[in-house]
Structure 1
Amino acid sequence: MSSSLTSSSRRMKIGELARKTGKSVRALRHYEELGLLRAARSEGNFRLYGPDELARVYWISKLQDMGFSLTQVQGLIDTVESSGSAPEAMQSLREMFRSRLHKTRTQVERLLQLERDLAESLAYLEGCRVCTTEHDLDGCASCDSPAHADTRAPSLVAGVHLPTAPAAASSLVRLRSSAEPAPTAVDGSASNPEPSEC
């Protein structure tokens, strides 16, 4: 067996790479078009991928999980590959990852706060299960249920309590009416109306 065939036998075709990485064949071809992935070719002109390409696809997935777009991945690869030396390349990578770590920690803090808000809201809403009062949603804003005694509605619940559409429309009509000037007399007809004929 020739060395080229032996080398090819240790590689995988694009379908196998797609199965291993969970990516679609179309996505892998797109990576190649963007220069993110390079494929060898078999004697039959099939794309062939090895362990390095497999690691590259996993790496791209990790970067996407961190919020990188494919364009940003392109830029990162270009920056590293255009570096004058290995230490310079690793310095660029270190700076990029340090910035991303800060953003990730900020996102984690926001998610943890959201988790607390959701848990607090669900605990509050459990008290609504015992509500027997027949009222519309507006009544929830002034809830006097014992389950909610001395408890303010969490922000995720309080934001739901808006005036209903009809009430809001009525308020707008009253506001417009109060702003309109009173009708004035024209040619004395308003102040001295003519008596109606019998």
Structure 2
Amino acid sequence: MNNNVRLPVLHPPKTVPGASVSDVSDVSGIELPSSEEPIGAGTDEANLVQVGDLARDSGKTVRAIHLYEELGLLHPVARSKGRYRLYGADAIVRIRWIGRLQEMGFSLTDIQTIVREWEELHSAPRAMIRMKETYKRKLAETRGHIARLRALEHELESSLVYLDTCEVCDPDRMLSACKACDLHTCGEHVPELIAGFRAS
């Protein structure tokens, strides 16, 4: 384990009226973090990217990236001579990480809380332990969700097999006769997705 792991400093969140990660417009008037410095001697600007490039490479909108900044989840590392925000190579890793957590069911507010709690621990090993606990809980939830989906998959497959017989049914047969269908054997299991349709 790398004991030098350090999460970015979390700045107090600001409110962006009507902000949404699906918006494509830019955000004006956002103050740059105080830790952000202009490009100076010894800084390789060629390895830094502006927000538009970061948005393109990450598949996010410029608005989403600025929202991440507002929530303290992402920080530019410097500004160009033209005062444009510049981001390091790890910015896209952070954006993808945020996206993964959202896919797992975390909201941006949840992620903000997670980052804040980790940073308050200060100790890298303790932060990693907290991360492990969070991921273990989410893994258990994910496995439960997968099990439910597999059960649903089996139910759908059984229903489709059962309904294959209905294709040879007399077209003039009344729907009410389905409750006492003689095309299926008496001992044949009726999937719940079929039984529920038959029930009145």
CA distance in 1, matches of 2:181, 2:152: 24
**Partner residue of 1:30?**
67
CA distance in 2, matches of 1:136, 1:47: 70
**Partner residue of 1:160?**
197
Q: Which structure 1 segments of 5+ residues have no match? A: 164-198
Give 1:138 shift: 3.0
CA distance in 2, matches of 1:133, 1:117: 26
TM-score (norm: length of structure 2): 0.72
Bigger RCO (CA 8 Å, 6+ sep): 2
CA distance in 2, matches of 1:105, 1:91: 21
Task: Give the alignment of 1:113-128 within 5 angstroms.
Answer: 113-128=151-166
Q: 2:126 aligns with which of 88, 94, 98?
A: 88
Change in Cα spacing, 1:82 to 1:132, as seen in structure 2 (3 Å) is: same
Structural RMSD (CA): 2.0
Answering whether residue 199 of structure 2 is matched by residue 141 of structure 1, we say no
Give 1:133 shift: 4.0
Give 1:12 shift: 1.8
Q: Which structure 2 segments of 5+ residues have no match? A: 1-38
Task: Give the alignment of 1:16-95 within 5 angstroms.
Answer: 16-39=53-76, 40-95=78-133
Answering whether residue 35 of structure 2 is matched by residue 7 of structure 1, we say no
Indicate conservation of the 8 Å contact 1:117/1:154, yes or no. yes
Change in Cα spacing, 1:137 to 1:31, as seen in structure 2 (3 Å) is: farther
Indicate conservation of the 8 Å contact 2:48/2:87, yes or no. yes
CA distance in 2, matches of 1:124, 1:20: 48
**Partner residue of 2:17?**
none
Change in Cα spacing, 1:80 to 1:24, as seen in structure 2 (3 Å) is: same
Answering whether residue 143 of structure 2 is matched by residue 105 of structure 1, we say yes
Give 1:3 shift: 5.0
Indicate conservation of the 8 Å contact 1:138/1:162, yes or no. no
Give 1:159 shift: 1.2
The count of aligned residue pairs is: 160
**Partner residue of 1:129?**
167
CA distance in 1, matches of 2:144, 2:62: 34
TM-score (norm: length of structure 1): 0.72
Letter in 2 for 1:156: L
Q: Which has the larger radius of gyration?
A: 1
